[in-house]
Every structure is written in C-alpha cells, then in structure tokens.
Amino acid sequence: MPPHCYVCGLDLADAPDDGRERFTLIYFGETEDAKMQDSRVMARLGRAGHPRNAVWFCTEHVTVAREHENMNARAALDAIDAAVGRERRTRPGGEDATSSRA
C-alpha cells in the first residue's frame, strides 16, 4: 500500500516532490515484540506489504502518531482521531478514513 497519511489523507500524488521524505510508517503495539508480530506472521506466510498495525503518517502528523505508538493499533488510532478533533473512523485507510481531511 503506498503512503497515505491516516490524519490528512496526503498521498504521494499530492506531495510537491517525490514524497519519499514526507511519510513515516508507524508500527503500533504495546511492546516492540507486539509491533513486529504481524510482520513476522506475514513473512511466514510469504506475504508482502505492511501489517495491519502499521499506518502511514505525513511529516505534519507523525508526532501525534508517535505519541500513541505504544498502544495497540485500534486504541492508538482512536486516540489520534480524538487528538485531531475527529470522530472515530471505522476503517483506517478506507473510504470513510479519507472523507474528512484535517
């Protein structure tokens, strides 16, 4: 999945340059082991991509994401939504996740 900021919806097509320096993939989990658990499962299954607990953020919103990275993904995304003054999204990265840009 290409970079797409969870908070504002910025993606590579919107970035004024090649965008490579504008996005950070944040892994959520209560421990370092929990953060990498989904990645290990995917690797064992021979699957590519990033796991469900990894979410893209632009440079403007990576700070709020890092404030919550030691929580499980759902709780962290709920906390991020609250921090930016938005109601909880039901599907990170889905249609409803991009409908309101912060």
**Average pLDDT, whole number, for the chain?**
82
Share of the chain above pLDDT 90, in %: 43
* Whole-number pLDDT of residue 13: 84
pLDDT band at 86 (very low <50, low <70, confident <90, very high): confident
Name the one residue in this structure whose structure tokens are 């030691």. 70
Mean pLDDT of 45-67: 89
pLDDT tens figures, 23-50: 999 999 998 888 888 788 888 888 877 7
Residue 44, φ and ψ in degrees, nearest 5: -60, -30
Indicate the domain borders of the chain: 23-98
- In single-letter form, the type of residue at position 71 comes to M
Residues 54, 55, 57, 62, Cα dihedral to 10°: -50
* Whole-number pLDDT of residue 102: 39
Pick the residue with more confidence: 99 or 80? Answer: 80
Pick the residue with more confidence: 52 or 29? Answer: 29
Per the CB < 8 A criterion, the answer to whether 6 and 95 are in contact is no
Mean pLDDT of 83-88: 87
Name the one residue in this structure whose structure tokens are 């993904």. 73
